[in-house]
Amino acid sequence: MSTASAQTPPQLTSLFADALPDLAAPWSPVPFSNATLLILNENLARDLGFDPQWLRSDDGLRFLLGESTSGHSGSIWPHPVSQAYSGHQFGNFSPVLGDGRAVLLGEVTVEQSDGATVAVDIHLKGTGRTQFSRGASDGRACLGPMLREYLVSEAMHAMGIPTTRALAVILTGETVLRRRPEPGAVLVRVARSHLRIGSFQYARMLWDSKPQVLTDLLDFALSRHPLRFSSLSGCSPEYPHGQPSTRDEDRSLGMEGTALHLLDTVARAQAKLMAQWLCVGFVHGVMNTDNVTISGETIDYGPCAFLDAFDSSTCFSSIDAQGRYAFGRQPHVMLWNLQRFAEALLPLIGQQTGVTAAGAVDKANSILLRYPEYFSHAWQSGIGTALGLAPIPTNRSSDTTAPLSASQVSVIDEFIAQLENSHADLLHVLNALARSLLETGEKRKAHLSHTPLSTRWIERWISHNPDPELMLRTNPVYIPRNHLVEEALSAAESGEMEAFHKLLKAVTEPCETPGQIRSGVDKEKESKYRETAPKTDAPYITYCGT
């Protein structure tokens, strides 16, 4: 994204509120009298065309909280709204969820590096009750979870994984009561859009009375995410390979711009996202359909965490007793979510293709059947790259890059089986493998001795000429490890932000270079940022913290 000229104050559009009034509940702020800006992501602010200095002013703070600024004529953010959506939560359908503690302030138009302009959502979390707040829920958020989202989403972005971004965290000056009294906070979040599978499920419910809403939502989604779904996180073009794009055959079949096309594009984007999560050991924790974007951006960092020991059954969340959203289940659960998305689109698919209801199901299924191929392609590309195995070049477009050879795929499969058996740390093993390639003799052996991999496997892997520089560029070394996140957040809750900022710096420069390794310069980072959690008997447990 290029930097647009700084404006004071920023101009926002209300594209969503104007296009989809049935999905947009107007919101009026209740001002916070003692709010203070705790963190501002100045680089992101500049990318959005905002003036960081102005955002740090009193008027800027009011803007970031969705409150009217005094001293400016008229409203500068046309229609703050909370968004309506449904959601399958742990498999059960909730027809009306919506933003119970969040607000879409509006959109800002930014210019991307390719010169195209895109609208980007500015969204607030924790600003108070909305039309969708249920029962006695307070619409507030606590500092810890908002800082967790800031830290993890910025780390994901730095790793090249599509995600919402974090622009700011504001202390509201209020105390929020959860398991104990906690400081209240607001997260200012940025996304290519906040459209979710749940948004379509909500519009589908209105089909019988207001069919136009689903039609308008499809048009709006396609206008916000034309053909190639890109994200704010497209910073590492080589990780793993390319962005999803329209298949030529879809164009020739007349699918372009239809509900089937959207379904296919979302399936492709989410398959790739699942592969990217697996390649860094990320567990989202609450993959309900209201937490799945159609942009392919990771959203809603609640009970998320990273693996320290490779084990597909790992589930950190206190509320996921069945392990529905366990690490290795994520790609399968995403297909289940995509099936719910397809169901929501069925009336449009029928209308656009002129088939019966049963015919629409067949057409949707024909797209969903592609998902395993999309996922396995993204997974093999991603983990193959992580292991330094370059795909065989072909003349075809990036989304149809030739799969790895059968022999390369079996190297990958055996690698994962050995990790699963040993419960070793994925990123440590990948780093030891890359470093081993930079050495010979005893030094190489020393690195390999830190892995659980068999000599036979190592010989096979080396026979494929793995590229150590590709591995180092691809594999993060510094991730928000769970124990480090907890340490930083608890210090922050007692007013000490140094640990948070040091960890943020570490994880937003996640990779190391061969030069750094050769010179022994460890990016001046303390080695504690590389290490897994000290061994304890108690499993790591995450809580939603809402």
Which of Mg ion, ligand AMP, none does 66 bind, CB closer than 5 to 8 A by kind? none
Q: How far apart are CA 184 and CA 195, in angstroms?
A: 26
Contact between 97 and ligand AMP by CB under 6 A: the answer reads yes
DSSP 8-class letter at 127? B
Q: What's the sign of the alpha-carbon dihedral 295, 474, 4, 147?
A: positive
Structural tokens at position 299 = 């959203």
495 is in an annotated binding site: no
Structural tokens at position 141 = 């958020």
Q: How far is the CB of 24 from ligand AMP (least distance, A)?
A: 15
**How many other C-beta atoms are found inside a 10 Å radius of the C-beta of residue 66?**
23
Q: How far apart are CA 68 and CA 325, in angstroms?
A: 40
By rule CB under 6 A, what string of x and - marks binding of each residue 283-322 to ligand AMP? ---x----x--------x-x--------------------
Contact between 297 and Mg ion by CB under 5 A: the answer reads no
DSSP 8-class letter at 76? S
Binding ligand AMP by CB under 6 A: which of 138, 216, 343, 522? 138
224 is in an annotated binding site: no
Nearer to Mg ion, 291 or 293 (CB): 291
Binding Mg ion by CB under 5 A: which of 300, 308, 320, 512? 300
Which of ligand AMP, Mg ion, none does 139 bind, CB closer than 5 to 8 A by kind? ligand AMP
**How many other C-beta atoms are found inside a 10 Å radius of the C-beta of residue 134?**
11
Q: How far apart are CA 122 and CA 67, in angstroms?
A: 14
Contact between 139 and ligand AMP by CB under 6 A: the answer reads yes
Which of ligand AMP, Mg ion, none does 100 bind, CB closer than 5 to 8 A by kind? ligand AMP
Structural tokens at position 55 = 């955002």
Residues contacting ligand AMP: total by CB under 6 A:
17
Q: How far is the CB of 300 from Mg ion (least distance, A)?
A: 4
Residues 6+ apart with CB under 8 A from 265: 225, 227, 229, 244, 246
Nearer to Mg ion, 109 or 133 (CB): 133
At residue 230, the 3 state secondary structure works out as coil
Nearer to ligand AMP, 149 or 311 (CB): 149
Which residues from 22-51 bind Mg ion, rule CB under 5 A? Answer: none
Contact between 291 and Mg ion by CB under 5 A: the answer reads yes
443 is in an annotated binding site: no
Which of Mg ion, ligand AMP, none does 473 bind, CB closer than 5 to 8 A by kind? none
Contact between 545 and ligand AMP by CB under 6 A: the answer reads no
User: Which residue's CB comes closest to ligand AMP?
Assistant: 100
Active site residue 290: yes
* Site stretch for ligand AMP (CB under 6 A), options 25-33, 99-107, 305-313, 395-403: 99-107
Nearer to ligand AMP, 102 or 159 (CB): 102
Q: How far apart are CA 233 and CA 264, in angstroms?
A: 21
Nearer to ligand AMP, 303 or 350 (CB): 303
Q: How far is the CB of 176 from Mg ion (least distance, A)?
A: 18
- Which residue among the candidates 51, 99, 264, 290 is catalytic per the annotation? 290
| Beta strand extents in 358-512 (DSSP E only) | none
β partners of residue 317: 542
248 is in an annotated binding site: no
Cα distances (angstroms) measured from residue 101 to each of 27, 299, 388, 448: 11, 15, 44, 49
475 phi, psi to nearest 5 deg = -95, 120
Which of Mg ion, ligand AMP, none does 481 bind, CB closer than 5 to 8 A by kind? none
Q: How far is the CB of 314 from Mg ion (least distance, A)?
A: 22
Contact between 98 and ligand AMP by CB under 6 A: the answer reads yes
Contact between 100 and ligand AMP by CB under 6 A: the answer reads yes
Answer yes or no: are the C-beta atoms of 332 and 376 closer than 8 Å.
no
Q: How far is the CB of 288 from Mg ion (least distance, A)?
A: 7
Nearer to ligand AMP, 125 or 473 (CB): 125
Q: How far is the CB of 289 from ligand AMP (least distance, A)?
A: 11
Buried b or exposed e, range 164-179, using 16+ CB within 10 angstroms? bbbbbbbbbebebebe
The amino acid that residue 340 corresponds to is R
Answer yes or no: are the C-beta atoms of 127 and 65 closer than 8 Å.
yes
Q: How far is the CB of 291 from Mg ion (least distance, A)?
A: 5
Nearest to 140 by CA among 13, 32, 284, 12: 32
* Ranges of H-type helices in 73-184: 143-158
Q: How open is the CA angle 447-449-454, to the nearest 5 degrees?
A: 120
Contact between 144 and ligand AMP by CB under 6 A: the answer reads no
**How many other C-beta atoms are found inside a 10 Å radius of the C-beta of residue 136?**
6
98 is in an annotated binding site: yes
How do strand 24-26 and strand 36-40 relate by DSSP bridges? unpaired
Q: How far is the CB of 326 from ligand AMP (least distance, A)?
A: 18
Q: How far apart are CA 221 and CA 165, in angstroms?
A: 20
* Interface residues toward ligand AMP, by CB under 6 A: 97-102, 133, 137-140, 286, 291, 300, 302, 544, 546
State the catalytic residues: 290
* Interface residues toward Mg ion, by CB under 5 A: 291, 300
